[in-house]
């Protein structure tokens, strides 16, 4: 489950395209930041993706990826040309390929490595899709299959590409757009694969002579469990919520307001909000629940300010944006020193798992513990954003030093906030089933830290 947002220059405060993405995965599925250099490849070479190998191209561009730790591909990322992409799972009437294939995350990385701009990325993905199809298990500890939607942005234009098996449709974004775990393209589209309409007709999903509606034809009440994933995942609700927030702020949208959107828990989330309550509640900032419906949570977030030169990318590198800090980097500065590469097992030497100490302490009493550091976190990000704007055109060394300083300061404060939160008394204990769920997650990841009790620290 994921959420993407974008606002073109005609809808932002400063006239610059702004992209945002939450990656929603399994709670212990650590989120990794990685930069891959550009490379030249000899004739006949192949690239090994998550499950399959395909022919390599002569040259691949350098990319910065924010990806699930165990996958070759990524859920979001950018390349040396400023091309930035996020994907979401979508559930359609077309049967899923459960055997090895290219995953949505593979398509995303391949497009970043092979395309210079958004329209080229559409072409790369659709050509690969029609040639190889999509398939393979995308679940971390479970079997999970889906099709994919992509939000593809550069500083000039943005495209939405939605797929169902080898069928696809693409629409150019005109102002603002949000995508979640549901098809969004209906009767207005700019490109479509040649047999998408005829295949829908052959299946009885579309009546000849009527306006073709991709969402209605390929989505809707289709095969089990596709419809259940769409319904219980609340993809339409999250997409509508983000569209509402984008529309309300059209013309005033900033990096800060997109960050706030990614932290949104819905219109009814007041001061007493807690992710421990409720069976449903799949919000934009997603939190795992105790039952079978809320199984994922936001494990990483990204906001990109896509100026024509030196676009600034804001990455959390950590779960739950409502408890995280967005830190800046520029493509030519690379990813700062952030510790070891994370896995699905607890490792305090990694950025992601260090933050999990704070995150899971907050979850013990979200309502009363988040306020311990929320205002300080917001003030820190405001200072980062103001300084980043002033150094964007400075030398690469100055920007690299500033980026590293931001990551380092956020790292130190995360540790300090963790200790402060631990001292805050638990005033509202979580339901037993919720605590039991997090106990199981902690055991699965060997989530131990500290020596004061010598046992797992649980929400």
As a whole number of Å, the end-to-end CA separation of the chain is 23
What are the tens digits of pLDDT across the range 145-172? 999 999 999 999 999 999 999 999 999 9
What are the tens digits of pLDDT across the range 322-367? 999 999 999 999 999 999 999 999 999 999 999 999 999 999 999 9
Percent helix, percent strand, percent coil in the chain, to nearest 5: 35, 20, 45
Give yes or no for a contact between 234 and 295, defined as CB atoms under 8 angstroms apart: no
Assess if residue 91 is contained within a domain.
yes
Q: What predicted TM-score, i.e. pTM, was given to this entire model?
A: 0.95
Tell me what pLDDT residue 451 has.
39
Assess if residue 267 is contained within a domain.
yes
Assess if residue 306 is contained within a domain.
yes
Element of type H or E holding 39: strand 39-40
Specify the 3-state DSSP secondary structure of 149: strand
Tell me what pLDDT residue 229 has.
61
Q: Collect the ranges in the chain with pLDDT lower than 50.
A: 224, 450-456
Give yes or no for a contact between 382 and 374, defined as CB atoms under 8 angstroms apart: no
- Tokens for 439? 């106990």
Which residues are identified as catalytic? 2
Tell me what pLDDT residue 231 has.
59
What are the tens digits of pLDDT across the range 289-315? 987 778 899 999 999 999 999 999 999
Tell me what pLDDT residue 137 has.
95
Give the count of domains, the chain. 1
Give yes or no for a contact between 131 and 145, defined as CB atoms under 8 angstroms apart: no
Assess if residue 459 is contained within a domain.
no
Assess if residue 413 is contained within a domain.
no
DSSP class per residue in 185-248:
--S--SEE-TTHHHHHHHTTSS-TTSPP-HHHHHSSS-STTHHHHHHHTTHHHHHHHHHHHHHH
Q: Is the peptide bond before 315 cis (omega within 30 degrees of 0)?
A: no
Assess if residue 326 is contained within a domain.
yes
Tell me what pLDDT residue 448 has.
76
Tell me what pLDDT residue 293 has.
78
Residue numbers of the domain that contains 293? 2-330
Assess if residue 384 is contained within a domain.
no
Task: Work out the number of other CB atoms within 10 angstroms of the CB of residue 266.
Answer: 15
**CATH code, 159:** 3.60.60.10
Assess if residue 180 is contained within a domain.
yes
- Sign of the C-alpha dihedral, residues 127, 129, 131, 132? positive
């Amino acid at each position: 489950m994921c959420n993407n947002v974008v606002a073109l220059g005609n809808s932002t405060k400063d006239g610059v395209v702004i992209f945002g993405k939450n990656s929603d995965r399994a709670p212990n599925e650590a989120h990794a930041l990685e930069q891959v250099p550009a490379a030249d490849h000899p004739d006949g070479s192949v690239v090994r993706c998550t499950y399959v190998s395909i022919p390599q191209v002569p040259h691949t561009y350098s990319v910065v990826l924010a990806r699930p730790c165990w996958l070759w591909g990524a859920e979001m990322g950018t390349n040396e040309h400023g091309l930035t992409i996020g994907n979401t799972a979508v559930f359609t009437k077309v049967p899923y390929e459960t055997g090895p294939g290219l995953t949505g995350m593979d398509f995303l990385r391949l497009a970043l490595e092979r395309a210079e701009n958004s329209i080229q990325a559409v072409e790369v993905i659709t050509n690969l899709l029609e040639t190889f199809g999509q398939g393979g298990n995308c679940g971390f500890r479970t079997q999970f299959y889906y099709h994919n939607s992509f939000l593809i942005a550069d500083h000039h234009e943005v495209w939405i590409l939605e797929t169902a098996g080898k069928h696809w449709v693409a629409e150019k974004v005109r102002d603002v757009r949000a995508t979640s775990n549901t098809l969004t393209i209906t009767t207005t589209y700019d490109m479509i694969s040649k047999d998408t309409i005829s295949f829908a007709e052959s299946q009885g999903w579309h009546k000849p002579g009527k306006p073709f509606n991709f969402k209605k034809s390929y989505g809707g009440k289709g095969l089990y469990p596709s419809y259940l994933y769409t319904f219980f995942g609340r993809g339409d609700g999250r997409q509508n919520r983000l569209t509402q927030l984008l529309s309300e702020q059209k013309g005033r949208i900033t990096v800060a307001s997109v960050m706030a959107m990614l932290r949104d828990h819905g219109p009814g989330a007041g001061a007493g909000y807690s992710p421990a309550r409720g069976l449903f509640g799949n919000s934009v900032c997603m939190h795992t629940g105790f039952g079978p419906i809320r199984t994922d949570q936001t494990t990483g977030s990204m906001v990109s300010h896509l100026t024509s030169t030196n676009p600034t990318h804001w990455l959390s590198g950590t779960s739950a944006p409502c408890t995280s800090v967005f830190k800046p980097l520029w493509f030519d500065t690379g990813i700062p020193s952030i510790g070891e590469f994370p896995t699905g097992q607890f490792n305090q030497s990694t950025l992601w798992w260090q933050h999990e100490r704070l995150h899971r302490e907050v979850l013990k009493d979200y309502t009363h513990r988040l306020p311990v550091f929320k205002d300080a976190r917001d003030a820190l990000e405001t200072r980062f954003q103001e300084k980043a704007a002033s150094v964007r055109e400075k030398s690469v060394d100055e920007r690299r030093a500033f980026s590293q300083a931001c990551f380092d300061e956020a790292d130190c404060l995360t540790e300090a906030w963790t200790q402060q939160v631990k001292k805050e008394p638990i005033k509202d204990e979580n339901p037993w089933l919720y605590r039991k769920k997090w106990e199981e997650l902690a055991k699965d990841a060997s989530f131990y830290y500290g020596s004061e009790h010598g046992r797992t620290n649980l929400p």
